Structure 1
Amino acid sequence: MNNQGDWRHPPADLRLQNAQVHVWRSPLDLPTERIELFAKILSSDEQIRADRFRFAQHRQRFIAGRGILRSLLGRYLQIAPDQVQFIYSEKGKPSLANQRLQFNVAHSQGLALYAVALDRPVGVDLEQVRAIADLDSLTQRFFSPNEHAAISALPACQQSQAFFRYWVCKEAYLKATGDGLAKLQALEMSLESNQAYLTKIPQGNIADWHLRELAPAANFVGAIVSSSQNCNLTCWQL
């Protein structure tokens, strides 16, 4: 697991090599002037989506999230942010057409993570740790028997943290592979004190995937999954 102090400011000359995976951390609650600037670089369909949000905070976070994503991808592609062209899967997942650059996005409350890699699928997830009233029933429904037993054996004050650690690791893996939530119980993790490990996956070879837990901020947990164990992860702060 990385530490909160591991997030660094990027160099002016940013480069992404084949063996590297970059993950970016950024707040979404930004000053009004930055939101207005980001709104100007959104596509027409993104602007329509932004206008559909009922609450101003949700609308502003969407604009910030998309504006940051466009700015980051434009930096890697060396094009203007408003020139970044997305294509969408049937499930609405955005990607870049005919590009080696792969990316994934996660957000929780006012914080976002952006994962970027070359020629390899990547998934990232993020959650704010909070109390869950029906935690036991949720773990029985979505987690494996071993995971449910591991969480149940913990002191009550530690169970929510463990639940969300499992959850973000599973979500990051499923986002990297493109599998849906139906595969949650077929995916099993082992949690150590500061790192999670894949112990069972729905199909394929565990050695083909690299899982890393992240420490995005106080009271948040995160995880990133990419194909191949040959992975050099760098964490950047915006």
Structure 2
Amino acid sequence: MRNSINRGRDLNNLISTPFINLYWYKIRELGDEQILKCYTLLNPEEINRADRYLKVEDKVRFIVGRGMLRKIISYYTSIENNDLIFEQNNFGKLYIKDVNLEFNVSHSGDYVVIAASYDNPLGVDIEKNNVCIEVEDIAEEFLTNDEISFLTDISNIAEKRKFYYKYWVRKEAVVKAIGQGLSFPLKDIVIPLDFIIGVFEKISIKKETWYIRDILLEKDYSCSIVARNKTQLRVIKGDI
């Protein structure tokens, strides 16, 4: 990974400081050899899962996401890849037993993103903005009344869709961070409407303080990260 993992094993300075590192990978920039590298890092169960995908793009996103997650965790923890065993909580969130590393993965369209940090529960979500979706038809499923009112007042269709996806990924990142998935009602998550882009904003979830921040990777994508503790965020283009 450029400027990080691939420069030897000098990771102590990289990961012992209170940073959140967010690695991103753009699928279309990867060659067959790089994707094969990721594939060789998977265990037999993950290989079977990858091979069950019907669409090539879904298969590649999974291979890159899981392969690079394994590589990152291995470097962070000094656990050999073959010895890594993923556990899941009751809602499907992955973790490594007896390790204080927090991590989360998301992928959509052309991107895979992986967030990692020590002792700082987190969640990340990315979505490619779908121009075909009628956002008002499904907004009531997860937006609060104030958010729906704000969405309704937006006259420009593109801006309306942009608002929808921004709030979708913000709330998805929240439920991934708290480890409850979609079992936690998205309508119960309140995100400030005067959200400031590029900084961590404080939010309250289940009477606990969390921090949320948007990440700009590309115009047609929405991406957000949520963490229990406010700290510095480093966005890193990952190398394979």
Report TM bin, short chain: 0.7 to 0.9
**2:201, 2:15 → 1: CA distance?**
26
User: Residue in 2 aligned with 1:204?
Assistant: 207
- Mean alpha-carbon deviation: is it higher for 162-171 or for 137-146? 137-146
One-letter identity of the residue aligned with 1:185: K
Decide which of 3, 6, 19 is 1:10's aligned counterpart: 3
Distance 1:147 1:21, change over 3 A: same
**1:189, 1:169 → 2: CA distance?**
8
**1:200, 1:154 → 2: CA distance?**
26
- Mean alpha-carbon deviation: is it higher for 55-64 or for 38-47? 55-64
Does residue 232 of structure 1 match 2:194?
Answer: no
- Mean alpha-carbon deviation: is it higher for 83-92 or for 68-77? 83-92
One-letter identity of the residue aligned with 1:153: D
User: Residue in 1 aligned with 2:192?
Assistant: 190
**2:140, 2:40 → 1: CA distance?**
46
Distance apart, 1:199 and its partner CA: 5.5
User: Residue in 1 aligned with 2:98?
Assistant: 98
**1:227, 1:126 → 2: CA distance?**
19
Distance 1:40 1:68, change over 3 A: same
Kindly report the root-mean-square deviation, in angstroms, between the aligned alpha carbons of the 2 structures: 2.1
Distance 1:180 1:76, change over 3 A: closer
Could you tell me which runs of 5 or more consecutive residues in structure 1 were left unpaired when the two chains were aligned.
1-7
TM-score, normalised with respect to structure 1 = 0.86
CA contact (8 A) 1:22 1:235 kept: yes
TM-score, normalised with respect to structure 2 = 0.86
Question: Which runs of at least 4 in structure 1 moved beyond 4 Å after TM superposition?
Answer: 196-200
CA contact (8 A) 1:22 1:115 kept: yes
User: Residue in 1 aligned with 2:75?
Assistant: 75
Count of equivalent residues? 227
User: Residue in 1 aligned with 2:18?
Assistant: 19
CA contact (8 A) 2:195 2:201 kept: no
User: Residue in 2 aligned with 1:3?
Assistant: none
Could you tell me which runs of 5 or more consecutive residues in structure 2 were left unpaired when the two chains were aligned.
none
User: Residue in 2 aligned with 1:114?
Assistant: 114
Over residues 73-104 of structure 1, what are the superposed CA-to-partner deviations in whole Å (9 max), with x where a residue is unaligned? 11212344333221123433321111011100
SS in structure 2 of the partner of residue 22 of structure 1: strand
CA contact (8 A) 2:212 2:225 kept: yes
- Mean alpha-carbon deviation: is it higher for 35-44 or for 114-123? 35-44
